Amino acid sequence: MLKFVKGHMESIEGIEIYPIISLLIFFTFFTILGFWVVKSKKSYIDKVKNIPFDN
């Protein structure tokens, strides 16, 4: 089955760019998320973490 998929993918022109684009999107998203977590205020984190218990 993998041989069929690999053969089919090799016949598509320009497909080699998609893994690079997806890696860049993944890396960018988690880098921005990491910066947001580090830069967020402690009071906001405490407020958000207690939301499930505010019922």
The pLDDT assigned to 24 comes to 98
Report the distance separating Cα 27 and Cα 51, nearest Å.
29
Determine the distance from the C-alpha atom of residue 47 to the mean position of all C-alpha atoms in its chain, rounded to a whole number: 25
Note whether 9 and 15 are within 8 A (CB): yes
pLDDT at residue 5 tops 90: no
Residue 15 makes CB contacts below 8 A (sequence gap 6+) with 9
Predicted confidence (pLDDT) per residue in 13-34, tens digit: 888 898 999 999 999 999 999 9
Beta strands in the chain (DSSP E): none
* Domain regions of the chain by residue span: 2-53
